[in-house]
A and B are shown apart, each in its own frame.
Chain A
């Protein structure tokens, strides 16, 4: 659940922030006309995104990286055009759009459409990639993930409404305009860094011999890596811009500045201020919530699992004895043996539910290596790939199951032969 909560927010936060500010900006400039034409762009972005998601999911016709690069080129063109036009067209509010205004509206709508088209398919396809361990759509696995995904979308929708309210009602008309311009420019920088080198590598389609190497791209390659490894900085910048707008809106509504003639009018003005302050505070709270989700919740969800400490056992010649009473509680138990070559071999034991047998295997699998397994609630989970093991099949060969380890039960002990343990040495080198 948490994974999809923070992933969807991370994927869409910037897009939602910019498209919301764009809607407010064009609405302030050109009234209903601006909003309506921008809404056309928004919906076409959504329709195109859904179309791409459907084609991607049902055919092999979509090469994601190609699409991203084309969308990048499209976005760059419209962002630059929008930015330039906004320098000349974006000052007088509430007028009918002339030729320049029409171009500004089209470019703004095109930027929003492109941003939505860019991110939406990924988010829409999440529910088709949920790992339900073969339990289907109506399993708890699926519903839990769907819950995180849906909650993120709901929160983003609520945030969008609040931010829109701030951007529309703020009296400082320069604030939403400048904040939007800054946000759009930052997005262009991100796209440039993120996709510049791969885009250039597409030049081979034109017959050029271009290969992405440090030597050939120098600082551009470094810039690409910087934007890739610091992608969160751009999200923090978007959060800062949204919070800044909300803060400015809050500050301009702390006291009544409009003239009034009598106490009733003052009360009305104060009530209006109170309402706007609440809107600003709600926006700030939403931004804070997203920041916490992308820091605290994400850190918690992606934290490294520490394997439980190995337990003790008795060595009897070439046999290792583990009392059954020590492993009969249904929990995961881990053991270690260090070989003459100084290789530490780990193995696990878990008593199978409703059975007298044990799930026994090396603390490694053929897919994920010796990452190990840990206990999450009543589940045994692979530390590397997060696959939940069916406890009843632990001890069987294949897949992400622990590599089987032979054992016997006798005289109240699980008995392991040293020879069998040493056979697994290569897995832990």
Chain B
């Protein structure tokens, strides 16, 4: 019987101690790509959407608490060549990004806004949201920085190339075939 007990103990100890062993090997978080489109060119930006477990954000009174939410959704974006003088390959600030998530029948499931924020991997727009497992599409409506009071120089000496200013109607981009299965 001692052999049996030793065997059980050995297997279980190996199992429980693996927590520490595995923890030493990895750090950070795992992002899951969203939709079948992958990266998309939207206006002068390259955008990709990812999601992972809900996160804590601060200040707490300005964030959606992770309680009662199912995932954190992010849009990672960088500027391409543009007339607004945003640095190429860098994040673009001052955007307002609204989203609508629809099911496979096109019915709106939820909607909201992505907030500007930073994680350990850099700045992005994101939010915690509540969503059941299922297949969805998500459409982003990207409003111009002008709506958040971002100005452009437009004089001939110091002005940007895009002297007509920012876009006036929201840019749109949709990711489809998003199979959301909570993995945390």
Contacts and interface: CB of A to CB of B under 8 A. Distances in A.
B112 A64 contact: no
A294 interface: no
Interface in A229-253: 229, 231
A386 B12 contact: no
B155 interface: no
Interface stretch (B77-85, B86-94, B132-140, B158-166): B132-140
A385 B65 contact: yes
A368 B134 CA distance: 21
26 contacts: A37-B5, A40-B9, A44-B13, A51-B20, A59-B23, A60-B29, A61-B23, A61-B27, A63-B30, A65-B53, A67-B22, A70-B22, A74-B15, A129-B67, A131-B67, A212-B179, A214-B179, A229-B132, A367-B62, A367-B64, A371-B111, A371-B112, A386-B68, A399-B62, A400-B62, A426-B147
B46 interface: no
User: Closest 4 CB pairs between A and B?
Assistant: A399-B62, A48-B16, A44-B12, A64-B184
B135 A41 contact: no
Contacts of B147: 426
Interface in B88-144: 98, 110-113, 115, 120, 127-128, 130, 132-135, 143
Q: How large is the interface on A (under 10, 10 to 19, 20 to 34, 35 or more residues)?
A: 35 or more
Interface string A208-235: 0000111000000100110011010000
A40 B19 contact: no
Given A102-B7, A133-B61, A385-B128, 9 more contacts: A41-B12, A44-B15, A55-B20, A65-B30, A106-B7, A134-B61, A225-B134, A367-B64, A367-B127
Interface in A60-91: 60-70, 74
Interface of B is mostly: mixed
A113 interface: yes
B36 A229 contact: no
B183 A64 contact: yes
A61 B24 contact: yes
A110 interface: yes
A114 B11 CA distance: 11
B157 interface: no
Contacts of A66: 22, 26, 30
A3 B68 contact: yes
Contacts of B180: 228
A55 to B, nearest CB: 5
A387 B112 contact: no
A97 interface: yes
B134 A229 contact: yes
Nearest to A72: B183
A212 B147 CA distance: 38
A74 B183 CA distance: 16
Nearest to A101: B4
A426 B143 contact: yes
A8 interface: no
Contacts of A59: 23, 27
